[in-house]
Amino acid sequence: MNEQAFRANQIYDWLWVKSCTNFDDMSNVSKLLRVKLADKYVINAVKVDKSQFSSDRTIKSTFKLYDENIIEGVLIPAADRMTACVSSQVGCSLTCKFCATGYMDRKRNLNADEIYDQVVLIDQQAKLNYQIPLTNIVYMGMGEPLLNYANVLKSIERITSDTGLNMAAKRITVSTAGIAKMIKKLGDDQVRFNLALSLHAANDIKRNEIMPINEQNSLKALAEALKYYFSKTKNPVTFEYIVFDNFNDELQDAAELAKFCKHIPCKVNIIEYNPISFAEYQNAGVDKIEAFADYLKKQGVNTNIRRSRGKDIDAACGQLAVKQTA
């Protein structure tokens, strides 16, 4: 456009640091250039469609994309942190039997800027409603992040950049259902963010039943990939484990999990299950969950029980699914 080079820096700053969505608001850019930009370009910003507030202060938002697709994201406030849970795909191509998103079709991957915009919008909600900025980001919303690898990594690069949101990589966690070759690629790329694996069974027969992705990514393949990842990054891994009633809630299941944990430095987050209408799974009883956690701790496994947030607005883990309304 034959403009001076510093204009590019100004516009970049407006787009990524100030998260501007309108050329008219770029006040230090000449009016003539703003008109030229608006004539030639469009800012495909993500917009909040609607938000729901849980009794536990969790906020779930549906976000509208430029092509009218809808995704969901969640703000999870806690005493010591303010976490954004963001989506990486419109829908999901995996068919995990216990997850509402798994019953949706995958329409497309999100672009890096669409993931970035979710973080910006949820940060704005945190500041507006709780006067506290975001402290953490989890890629645990709709979609499988490692099947949108390039855009997920590009979004994190921008989020952590000092010419972006300047958040620390160690405050970001990417959660995967377990794609061995992509876990190895994370190792090759020596990523600095945290990795979580949705495990939910340390037994191939049981894991195949609830997570068909395991048929091509067996526990043996995942263990090898995780060891490779750790050798490259020295980052411990978090295993997420939902204890389902009468499925994976016995001490034998805990013993299998403890054995799997010996492969690499790790911790286990036991997650409360949130039943969905599509599936018959139920959360195990409190006594079973506590006995399961106690067994792991006695085996030397760093174990935490995570209570669900936002259940009353379908914002809890495994509940994100855009409900079509007439």
List the catalytic residues: 72, 317
Token pair recorded at residue 214: 């395991």
Q: What distances in angstroms separate CA 102 from CA 80, 144, 276, one per listed residue? A: 31, 10, 11
The half-sphere exposure of 248 on its side-chain side, counting CA atoms within 13 A, is 27
Please enumerate in sequence order all residues whose Cβ is within 8 A of that of 304, keeping only pairs 6 or more positions apart, or say none: 267, 268, 269, 270
Q: Could you give the CA distance from residue 109 to residue 9 in angstroms, rounded to a whole number?
A: 28
The number of C-alpha atoms within 13 Å of 128 and in the hemisphere containing its C-beta is: 8
Output the CA angle 244-57-134, nearest 5 degrees: 95
